[in-house]
Amino acid sequence: MLTLYHAPTAVCAAKVRVVLAEKALPFEGHMINLHLGDQFKPEYLKLNPNAVVPTLVHDGNVLIESTVISEYLDEAFTDWPLRPAGALGHARVRLWTKKEDSIHDTINTMTATMVFRHDLLQKSPAEREARYSKMPDPARREKWRRMMDEGLKSSIVADALTRLARHFSDMEKSLSRQLWLAGDQFTLADTGLLSFFYRLEMLECAGMWRENFPRVSNWYERSKARPSFRDAIIGYIPASDHEKYRAITEPLWPQVAAGFKSSLAAI
């Protein structure tokens, strides 16, 4: 039996749900309310000491880290493979999943400074500090303090935008040669990025690729047309979240767009 501990809007949880949907794998889901701090409860920390989602339990074995989970699912369940056969095909996919892991924190940065900051600044300094103190990783705690203090003016955001610009540029080059990122097959190279892109779209930041990277834009639209996108991502996000994100982030897009334009010029 597959049991997934996840959250509706968490991008890494959505990554795994896309894989489960593509491979038509049924699972028992347990929702972790990140806003209420379920991820910090002792019973969950026993499963995932990093206090993040997702966590997968398969026949009593606990797996963490979304990329590792995705690769495990593709190896453990061989129907509907999400990697080309052979060592070379696996290596090409692995290169993209490695790149994907390297930009995950940029999605966290943009979400934190554009949405979570709006919510946290309405709390008292003591309440904010209590939230940070629950984060097991000291570096993560310090990053959150800086992002909440500095917002979109932070050098952390500038760095995130530059890394996203490079990633989109790499995608554009790859997609000039083939249909999908690792070849002519939809693979784990593609599945993991979908929730990242959709989060940026919810943040009203889709202009990053729509205005600069036509092949990436086409890739994303084709990916969104797959049933797994609807079933694993759209189907889990409440309309209220869309409305909230849009109201908060739409006024911020011009500032983000200016920063992204500078990042494009620098790569």
Number of domains forming the structure of the chain: 2
pTM of full prediction above 0.85: yes
Q: Is residue 215 part of a domain?
A: yes
The whole domain housing 44 covers: 2-76
Last residue of a domain, one of 76, 101, 122: 76
Last residue of a domain, one of 55, 76, 97: 76
Calculate Rg over the CA atoms of the chain: 18
Give the CATH number, domain containing residue 198.
Answer: 1.20.1050.10
Q: Indicate if 96 and 59 belong to the same structural domain.
A: no
Q: How far is CA 227 from CA 22, 69, 137, 165, 222, in A?
A: 8, 21, 36, 28, 11
Q: Indicate if 42 and 104 belong to the same structural domain.
A: no
Give the CATH number, domain containing residue 67.
Answer: 3.40.30.10
Q: Is residue 81 part of a domain?
A: no
Q: Is residue 177 part of a domain?
A: yes
Q: Indicate if 91 and 63 belong to the same structural domain.
A: no
Q: Is residue 154 part of a domain?
A: yes
Q: Indicate if 48 and 114 belong to the same structural domain.
A: no
Q: Is residue 82 part of a domain?
A: no
Q: Indicate if 49 and 167 belong to the same structural domain.
A: no
pLDDT per residue as tens, the chain (267 positions): 999 999 999 999 999 999 999 999 999 999 999 989 999 999 999 999 999 999 999 999 999 999 999 999 999 999 999 999 999 999 999 999 999 999 999 999 999 999 999 988 888 888 888 888 888 788 888 998 999 999 999 999 999 999 999 999 999 999 999 999 999 999 999 999 999 999 999 999 999 999 999 999 999 999 999 999 999 999 999 999 999 999 999 999 999 999 999 999 998
Last residue of a domain, one of 76, 101, 134: 76
Q: Indicate if 94 and 222 belong to the same structural domain.
A: yes
Q: Is residue 48 part of a domain?
A: yes
Query: Are the C-beta atoms of 18 and 232 separated by less than 8 Å?
Result: yes
Residue whose C-alpha is closest to residue 34's, from 131, 124, 147:
131
Q: Indicate if 127 and 151 belong to the same structural domain.
A: yes
